[in-house]
Amino acid sequence: MKRIFTSKFLKIIASIAILLGFSFTYLAFVAVVIPKNIEPSTKEGQVRVRITPGSNVSSVARQLMSQGVQTSNWHVQIVARGFFLGKQLKSGFYDFPPGANLATVLFKMGRGDSVKLNVTLVEGWTFKQFKAAIDSQVDLKKEAKSWSAGQILAKIEAKELHPEGVFFPDTYVYEPGDSDLIIYQRAYLAMMKNLNNAWEVRSSDSSIKNAYELLKLASIIEKETGHPDDRGLVAAVFNNRLKLGMKLQTDPTIIYGLGDAFDGNIRKKDLLKDGPYNTYTRYGLPPTPIAMPGKDALLAAAKPAKSKALYFVAKGNGRSVFSETLVAHNQAVQQYQLRK
């Protein structure tokens, strides 16, 4: 009799297990929780939902329902706990196609596969280009769009009074709804970190007196270098000129000084017209950086190549010819610029 009772009991348990399994399968893979007629939240036709930090299973259910998802607390509880996702659901923004089921939704949240957007700030860009790129991000909250550069610097507690060069070119990831100030803050802190690292490893014979001067020189190197392999030699030329008290005579500073008036050509009158960024008429570095230098330009400014070169001229293929004497430089100009 005992064996018969045990056999019946096991059959009942097995039946219940099978029934629960079918129930989970139905709830997880058949129940549609995002209606197909719901209005998409993104241009890709996806429905975007947001889960706030610190949410438990019940609050996740409430947030899903408040954002148009057709489900219930007990549906979410059963599926989340049945698949051991109860403590794994993560905050963030999540995109789903209309018609997505509960399993798809909760497994994605369990993986933390939230929406990640990014903005790329390019080496050699000016602050104006940098700000335009941030302002164009439709999913960023535009707190600083109408602010002046000074207001932005003050808000992120920057020590510098001029925005040029103090933001690090990189790709910055953000979530929809983040403030644009987050990008400015991250880029500023990243530049200060990279600048300080470069300053710490500078050469003992460097002509640079402080980290901000290094930033200025790095920005010029960034704009003057057509090929990565020439970066160290370009830095050497400017370092040598600064040591000897020679004018830098670099076109990118002229272009920066002209601003919106630059039409693609530098004329003789532009070289002769004095101004703070005219390194043909003034000695030393310009008053501020002229662009956002990358890590390699910063390190090149800190540790120039060992060279006595004082001149360089573009060959037309992205590389440059470096010369120690004016005679050799003029010959290179004749060969590569004037084509004689």
Per-residue pLDDT tens over the stretch 66-108: 998 888 888 898 888 888 888 899 998 999 998 888 888 999 9
174/180 Cα distance (integer angstroms): 9
What string of DSSP letters covers 114-129? ---EEEE--TT--HHH
Identify the sign of the CA torsion 107, 109, 111, 116: positive
Furthest-apart CA pair in the chain: how many Å?
113
What is the pLDDT of the chain when averaged over all its residues? 89
Single pTM value for the model: 0.80
pLDDT confidence of residue 103: 85
13/21 Cα distance (integer angstroms): 12
pLDDT in tens, 296-340: 999 999 999 999 999 999 887 888 999 999 999 988 888 887 765
pLDDT confidence of residue 318: 80
Distances (CA, A) of 274 to 162, 247, 263: 21, 13, 19
Structural domain spans, the chain: 2-111, 117-195, 203-336
Of 100, 64, 58, 49, whose CA–CA distance to 81 is shortest?
Answer: 58
Where does the pLDDT of residue 43 fall: very low under 50, low under 70, confident under 90, or very high at 90 and above?
confident
15/278 Cα distance (integer angstroms): 87
Per-residue tokens: 85: 């996702």
What is the bridge-based pairing of β-strands 320-323 and 311-314?
antiparallel
pLDDT confidence of residue 302: 97
Tallying the residues shown for the chain, one arrives at: 340
pLDDT confidence of residue 171: 96
299/145 Cα distance (integer angstroms): 32
Q: What are the start-end ranges of the H helices in the chain?
A: 2-25, 57-66, 73-82, 102-111, 127-135, 149-155, 180-200, 211-224, 231-244, 251-258, 268-272, 295-302, 326-336
Distances (CA, A) of 33 to 46, 104, 272, 274: 14, 10, 70, 68
Instruction: With beta carbons less than 8 A apart as the criterion, state whether 231 and 297 touch.
Output: yes
Instruction: With beta carbons less than 8 A apart as the criterion, state whether 178 and 155 touch.
Output: no
pLDDT confidence of residue 168: 98
233/306 Cα distance (integer angstroms): 8
Q: Average pLDDT for residues 143-162, to the nearest whole number?
A: 96
Instruction: With beta carbons less than 8 A apart as the criterion, state whether 300 and 235 touch.
Output: yes
pLDDT in tens, 251-291: 999 999 999 999 889 999 999 999 999 999 999 999 999 99
Q: What percent of the chain stands above pLDDT 90? A: 64
Lowest-confidence pick of 14-18, 39-43, 215-219: 14-18
Q: Virtual CA dihedral for 122, 183, 258, 313, nearest 10 degrees?
A: -30
183 pLDDT above the threshold of 70: yes
